[in-house]
Amino acid sequence: MKRYLVLTLHYCFFISALLFLPLDIAIFIAGFLISILLFENIFFTSLPLVLCFYFPLKYTYILLVVFLFSLILYPFGKKNRYYALASYLLTSVTTFVILYFLNGLNPQTIGIMLLLFILYSGINLLYVYQKQNNKTIIIPYSQKLINLTIILGYFFIIYLYGTNQYLMYFLFMQLFLINDFKYNLIFVGIYTLLLAIKDYTQLSTILYPTAISFLPVSLILTLEFKGYLWILFMIYSFLVNLTLFKPKRLTIENDYINSLFDDFNKYINELNNEYSKNNRIKEIKEQKLEEISTNYCQSCFKNTLCKTKLDKRYSFLSGAMLGLKQNIYDCPYYNRFCINTNFDNVNKSFEYSAIKSLAFELSFLYNQSLALKEDYDYFITLLTNYGYNVCDLDINLSSSSLYFSIELAKPKPIIENLLLRCAYKAFGEQLELKVVDQRIYFFKKPVLKISYAHTVLAKSGNLVSGDNYYIKKDYNNSYIFALSDGMGSGYNAYTESLDALKTIANLSKYHFRIKTILKLLEDIYELKSNYDRYATLDFLAIDTANKKINLYKMGSTTTYILHNNQLLRYENQTLPLKLDEINSSYDLDLYSGDYIFLLSDGISDFVSNDEFYSLVSNGQKSADEVCYNIIDYIKRKENNKLKDDLSLIVIKAI
């Protein structure tokens, strides 16, 4: 609404000023205004027709011809700026020819034609011709700069051809509508210089217009109150002052920091909702695990995976303590390991590691936001200057590279190169952008591309696999890959691994860093089930802009990376859903041509390192081809009778 009020006030002056100029000049300017208004809105072009009530009849006919001619040429002029320039030139020449036949040759008309053509050419460059949905739209780079250009053109016209002293005062009032201090100074400087050339030395002649450009109500002090004309001046001045009201400015402290604490509240609610059993169950299970390992496992004569692998033993014994009938290693003491969990809850206070992590996270993000506050404020100011008013700013400071999104107060056509230029001025980085559902995402340009393939197969005889995966691609072309293996196999294992990944998907919506998210996941699992259920987790984050990967392993099997034809192995050293930042957290560089393999024990238990290397050593194949080769090899090796669920994610950097 404010934009239309400002446009109306501008063009009320630009049109009414023609009544105080010679008619031969006024008719050319009227055609110029019609052509400029076609950029804004085709319906606005009818505004100058109000002059038909004031012009002599023959000039009214000329104005109507110019109006109709402009409308006819409008589809032609919309194609690009050069067609628009040609359309205006044809309109201007038509006006000149008609005037020549009616009034003969007037040297002033040639001068005004040339001046208006230069002015139109400059304004033409301040618009962008952009195609959207096979339709050309015309968008202003900066409405302020366009209005200033028109005002400067009018200034020279009034200076050269005008006679009414009040026209210049009203012209200065238009500067208040633009509301830009530097434009006021430039305009006043030009005005003062021209007065000096004309040898006008009266101080009031300079000070009155200068005061009006900063405070329009001062116009009243310069007028002679004759009749009721001063009322119109007062109304106009009041309307101009209304434009002073600005939309609420977005601030980093109020808006972004509030979103961080909203995430904190969501997390606390998550803990409360998931709380089902107390810490006593966890203590009983840990004591029981130690007792079983000491009294039974160390003296066991069977050479099974639960004998040699801690994570397999944990999974197996957890099921036994819960009374699950999954004696997959044929343990003779399996039925003795069940524990009784039906006792009264004993409330105990205990500290969750993630609470500390979250406190550090909030402190880190708050300090980061303050460090970048000036950059973001400057960016928002630049957008506001171009008519893009930001109503929402969402900064992902947890991202290792610059990544944020904005939403505009009102839908407006997006000029991508303009917005990216503003971002470069503010942040000093070459960014890219994407527009998704009226939200504009800005991010650092990716250096690498990622392709991937994935497969999940159930153990022979089962309808569903206990393995699950989660893949998320963000708008900044960063990726999250998660692979979870539930305890045992079948439906119970499926729900356990799926539940872990659902929690990951939910937590990844927050503004927190990955390590903090995994700490939150640990606490949620402690509160949710106190280790009544079991699932491993491989968590991989890829930043394609900085060529970095972060790998976190929680009870999972080996992860492989093929780099320069060398197969690198990354082992797990922790219990399921427990993060040891020293042994199971890896921060690595990623290079073009690298392959990353996330897999479950359904593959690693049955394929040796040498076998795996022989399957993946040809680094020219696509991720799909490599994934197929690995799965096909296992099927053939096991005669299509899989002994365990298996899952595989193959990732290739390009």
pLDDT tens profile 21-60: 888 999 999 999 999 888 877 777 888 888 888 888 889 9
Q: How many CB atoms lie within 10 A of CB 76?
A: 12
110: which residues sit within 8 A by CB, 6+ positions away?
Answer: 96
Mean pLDDT in the chain? 79
Q: Is the pLDDT of residue 85 over 70?
A: yes
Question: Which pair of structure tokens corresponds to residue 360?
Answer: 């550090």
Report the alpha-carbon distance of residue 157 to residue 143 in Å, rounded.
21
pLDDT at 471: 94
Helices (H), 198-304: 203-214, 219-222, 229-242, 257-274, 279-292
Residue intervals of the chain classified under CATH 3.30.980 are 252-271+351-444
Range scoring the smallest mean pLDDT among 379-383, 524-528, 635-639: 524-528
CA distance 494 to 467: 6
- Residue 10 CA neighbour count, 13 Å, CB half: 27
- pLDDT computed for residue 71 by the predictor: 87
Q: Helices 203-214 & 181-197, crossing angle to 10 degrees?
A: 160
**Residue 531: pLDDT over 60:** no
Residue with tokens 């995994």: 518
Which DSSP symbol is given to 463? S
- Over residues 410-431, the mean pLDDT reads 87
How many whole angstroms separate alpha carbon 172 and alpha carbon 188?
Answer: 9
User: Which pLDDT score is estimated for 264?
Assistant: 60
- State which fold the 252-271+351-444 domain adopts: Threonyl-tRNA Synthetase; Chain A, domain 2 (3.30.980)
Angle at 584 between CA 578 and CA 590, to 5 degrees: 135
Residues 121 and 85: beta-carbon distance below 8 Å? yes
Lowest mean pLDDT among 128-142, 195-209, 220-234, 312-326: 220-234
Return the pLDDT at 231.
Answer: 65
The mean per-residue pLDDT over the stretch 247-276 comes to: 54
Which pLDDT score, from 0 to 100, does residue 423 have? 92
Report d(CA 514, CA 13) in Å as an integer.
58
CATH of domain 450-653: 3.60.40.10
**Which value, to the nearest 10 degrees, does the dihedral of the CA atoms of residues 647, 649, 650, 654 take?**
170
Could you tell me the sign of the dihedral formed by the alpha carbons of 35, 37, 43, 44, in that order?
negative
> CA 478, CA 443: separation in Å to the nearest integer?
10
Where along the chain do the CATH 3.60.40.10 domains lie?
A: 450-653
Single-letter residue type at 224: E
pLDDT surpasses 90 at 117: yes
In three-state secondary structure terms, 478 is coil
- pLDDT, tens digit, 9 for 90 and up, residues 167-219: 777 788 787 777 777 777 788 788 777 777 766 556 666 666 676 776 666 66
Q: What is the pLDDT of residue 483?
A: 93
Asked if residue 38 lies in contact with residue 76, where contact means CB atoms within 8 angstroms, the answer is: no
Nearest residue to 338 via CA among 359, 364, 317 = 317
Residues 563-595 pLDDT 10s? 998 999 998 876 666 555 545 788 899 999 999
- Lay out the sheet containing 403-408: strands in order across: 390-395, 403-408, 439-444, 431-436
| Mean pLDDT across 471-484 | 91
**Any idea what DSSP says for residue 410?**
S
- Higher pLDDT, residue 412 or 430: 430
Closest CA to 275 of 525, 70, 444: 525
Higher pLDDT, 144 or 268: 144
Helix, strand counts (H, E) of the chain: 23, 16
